[in-house]
Amino acid sequence: MGPYYNGLWLDNLGCGSSRHAVCADVRGSDVTFIIVTKALTWTQAQSYCRDNHTDLASVRNMAENQKVLVKIAGLDYVWIGLFRDSWKWSDGSNSSFSFWKTRQPDDNNETCVAADFSQSGAWEDWPCDMERAFICYGPVVTTSKKVLKVKFENKNNVDLNDPAVMEAMLKQLKQKLRAQGLDHNIKLSWRKQADGKVFHKEDKKTNKRRRKREEL
C-alpha cells in the first residue's frame, strides 16, 4: 500500500510495480522515516528496509502520516509497510512472514502451499488435492535445570562416590520422586564438584562451630 502526494492511502497498486519506498528507523519510542528513491517492488522494498533500517514504515497516527508526507516531497506513490495477506496458517496463527518464489503465488485455484527445499524452502502455491510429503510440529518443549543439595547418613561407610553406588542411589531417588508425581520424562543426574567428586564427608566440627555462633 502507498500514500499519494496528498497523504491519502491507496490499495490498488500492484505489489510487483516499482515505486519509491519509505523505511523507518525505530529507536525505542523514536521513529525516523527515510525515503528510498530507488524504484523497488513492495517485497524488494521490505527486504531493503529490513536490511538497512528497521522495516518499511508503519504509520500509526496522523502525525506520523504528516511526517511521511513531508519526506516524499511531491513524489507520487510510495510504498509503506501495510499490506493485505489472504493466506492463513493452518493453526490459526498470524504472521506477516512470507517466502514466495518469484512470480508466486500465481493461480487463484491453487490454495495450498508447498515449500521447495531444493530452493531453500521457497514457497509455491499448489492445488490442495496434490499428494506431497509434509511436516508436522508439536508444542515447544522448554528445558530447565535445578540443582538440589542432598545429605545422606552413611552408617555402613559405603563409598558414595563409587559409580555403581551412585547409580543405585539415583534409581531409588527416581522411584520415590515418581511415586510422588514426578514427570517420567525428567532426568536426574549427580553433579561433580571441582575436585571431580560428587559427595564429600561432612565436617562435624565446623558444623558445631556454626551452630554455636547461631546460638550466640
Domain range for residue 117? 32-138
Banded model confidence at residue 1, pLDDT cuts 50, 70, 90 = very low
| Averaged pLDDT of the chain | 80
Residue 60's pLDDT is 85
135, 113 contact by CB (below 8 A): no
Residue 207 belongs to some domain of the structure:
no
Sequence-distant (6+) residues with CB within 8 A of 202 are 151
The residue ranges of DSSP E strands in 41-173, in sequence order, are 55-56, 78-79, 112-116, 122-126
Domains in the chain, number: 2
Residue 23 belongs to some domain of the structure:
no
Question: Is 70 exceeded by the pLDDT of residue 199?
Answer: yes
Residue 21 β-bridge partners? 36, 79
Q: Report the predicted TM-score, pTM, of the whole model to 2 decimal places.
A: 0.46
What mean pLDDT do residues 174-199 have? 80
Banded model confidence at residue 205, pLDDT cuts 50, 70, 90 = low
Asked whether residue 130 falls in the same domain as residue 167, the answer is no
Residue 204's pLDDT is 60
Asked whether residue 88 falls in the same domain as residue 134, the answer is yes
Residue 91 belongs to some domain of the structure:
yes
Residue 84 belongs to some domain of the structure:
yes
Residue 173's pLDDT is 83
Lowest mean pLDDT among 52-56, 118-122, 136-140, 185-189: 136-140
Banded model confidence at residue 208, pLDDT cuts 50, 70, 90 = low
Asked whether residue 134 falls in the same domain as residue 179, the answer is no
Banded model confidence at residue 195, pLDDT cuts 50, 70, 90 = confident
Asked whether residue 169 falls in the same domain as residue 128, the answer is no
Residue 22 belongs to some domain of the structure:
no
Asked whether residue 37 falls in the same domain as residue 126, the answer is yes
Q: Provide the pairing of β-strand 112-116 with 122-126.
A: antiparallel
Question: Is 90 exceeded by the pLDDT of residue 49?
Answer: yes
CATH of the domain at 45: 3.10.100.10
Question: Is 60 exceeded by the pLDDT of residue 84?
Answer: yes
